[in-house]
């Protein structure tokens, strides 16, 4: 099969031929139909996060089941599915206590004595997040997919696989935004726009969108923002405090920067909660004021993939979309093909798109 492969940091990814193994007993082979180009993948290209190379990146995807292992009963060939990097084992402590997004994932990986799922001339090729969707096929554990109906286009389904689930879930699951509350979202790309949508679905009365790109702020108002702040003018924290009379109940960081994470904490009112969604580079330290943290009960927390339970969350998000309460069409800025990934990354860095989606048909 064809895949666009990462071999070195900050080197353009090239399309190569990769071998894919047959499904194991609890594995499924998925024909990739659409894959969103997510900023998380760019972190690995630029070296902010490490991954064994060569590697096939990509994790925001949807496709159809091509083949299944002999112990798989959940799906069958032809079924449309959404992929999720929160593949769960169903056996570990986290899964059993209702936090499958924190699964240890040991039981869903192939052992060292087994052949790799992907290889090239006998050399193992890493699948990002046990998926690797910048490829024509994905060989994954069955608990990495959710079966869905066939009435939603694959490019929309792909966005539910990461961007929508991450942003919506941060508001609805991680932070548990309360009706009537105030919210600020820093960064209005694909994930940030979905955090705005999540806050609106939760019933927040005031939703402040913050970004440096005017077109993203305009989109944010279409997704539910009641106010916007152009961060290029500086003094973001003071502007939020002025707008709200002291700060917001909830803030969300959807960029992945130390500075904006700290700003999210500083813009909270007493008792407020800052939720960090963006992939801040590894080993970065976030600094906060101990006084406001202890005496005023401000909180700061991380959110991994929207604290999802994706086999129940994603069908609900699809129903929100069907009812017109969740915007997905507007998130798809452009369709590209496998081989145009480097250009899609460039568009992302320039702030030209909400989401590029690779289409495989």
Secondary structure element (H or E) that encloses residue 293, with its range: helix 290-295
| CATH superfamily entry for domain 2-161+307-359 | Medium-chain alcohol dehydrogenases, catalytic domain (3.90.180.10)
Contact 274, 287 (CB under 8 A): no
Which has the closest alpha carbon to 355: 211, 162, 222?
A: 162
pLDDT, position 294: 85
pLDDT, position 357: 97
Residues whose CB falls within 8 Å of the CB of residue 296, separated by 6 or more in sequence, listed in order: 270, 271
pLDDT tens by residue, 331-352: 999 999 999 999 999 999 888 8
Report the side by side order of strands in the sheet with 126-127.
Answer: 14-17, 2-6, 55-56, 126-127
Q: How confident is the model at residue 186 (pLDDT cuts 50, 70, 90)?
A: very high
Q: Tokens 């963006």 identify what position?
A: 278
CA angle (53, 59, 62) in 5-degree steps: 140
Which has the closest alpha carbon to 192: 176, 213, 211?
A: 211
Which has the closest alpha carbon to 331: 188, 170, 228, 199?
A: 188
pLDDT value at 70 more than 90:
yes
| CATH superfamily entry for domain 176-302 | NAD(P)-binding Rossmann-like Domain (3.40.50.720)
Q: Residue 178 carries which DSSP code?
A: P
Which has the closest alpha carbon to 59: 82, 31, 29, 28?
A: 82
Cα separation of the two ends of the chain:
14
Q: How far apart are CA 137 and CA 247, in angstroms?
A: 47
Q: How confident is the model at residue 62 (pLDDT cuts 50, 70, 90)?
A: very high
Which has the closest alpha carbon to 144: 205, 268, 58, 261?
A: 58
pLDDT tens by residue, 314-332: 999 999 999 999 999 999 9
> Is this prediction's pTM over 0.85?
yes
pLDDT, position 291: 85
pLDDT tens by residue, 22-57: 999 999 999 999 999 998 999 999 998 999 999 999
In 231-323, which ranges are E strands?
Answer: 248-253, 268-276, 299-302
Q: Residue 7 carries which DSSP code?
A: -
Half-sphere exposure of 60 (CA within 13 A, CB side): 26
Domain boundaries along the sequence of the chain: 2-161+307-359, 176-302
């Amino acid at each position: 099969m064809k895949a666009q492969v990462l071999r070195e940091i900050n080197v353009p990814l090239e399309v190569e031929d990769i071998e894919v193994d047959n499904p194991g007993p609890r594995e499924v082979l998925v024909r990739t139909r659409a894959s969103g180009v997510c900023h998380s993948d760019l972190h690995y290209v630029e070296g902010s996060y490490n991954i064994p190379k060569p590697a096939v990146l990509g994790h925001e995807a949807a496709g159809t089941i091509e083949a299944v292992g002999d112990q798989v009963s959940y799906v069958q060939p032809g079924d449309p599915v959404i992929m999720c990097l929160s593949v769960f084992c169903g056996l570990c402590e986290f899964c059993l206590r209702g936090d499958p997004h924190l699964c240890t994932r040991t039981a869903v990986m192939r052992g060292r004595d087994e052949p790799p799922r992907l290889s090239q001339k006998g050399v193992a090729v890493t699948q990002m997040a046990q998926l690797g969707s910048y490829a024509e096929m994905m060989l994954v554990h069955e608990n990495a997919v959710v079966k869905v109906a066939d009435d939603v286009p694959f490019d929309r389904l792909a966005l539910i696989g990461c961007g929508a689930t991450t942003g919506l879930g941060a508001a609805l699951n991680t932070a548990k935004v309360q009706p009537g509350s105030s919210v600020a979202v820093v960064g209005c790309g694909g994930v940030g726009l979905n955090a705005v949508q999540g806050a609106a679905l939760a019933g927040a009365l005031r939703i402040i969108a913050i970004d440096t790109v005017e077109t993203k702020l305009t989109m944010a108002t279409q997704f539910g923002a009641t106010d916007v702040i152009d961060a290029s003018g500086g003094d973001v924290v003071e502007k939020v405090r002025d707008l709200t009379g002291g700060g917001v109940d909830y803030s969300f960081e959807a960029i992945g920067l130390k500075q904006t994470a700290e700003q999210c904490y500083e813009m909270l009112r007493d008792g407020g909660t800052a939720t960090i969604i963006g992939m801040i580079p590894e080993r970065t330290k976030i600094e906060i004021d101990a006084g406001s943290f202890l005496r005023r009960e401000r909180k700061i927390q991380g959110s991994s993939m929207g604290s999802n339970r994706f086999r129940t969350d994603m069908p609900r998000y699809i129903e929100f979309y069907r009812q017109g309460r969740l915007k997905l069409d507007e998130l798809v800025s452009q369709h590209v093909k496998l081989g145009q990934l480097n250009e899609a990354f460039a568009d992302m860095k320039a702030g030209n798109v909400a989401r590029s989606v690779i289409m495989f048909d």
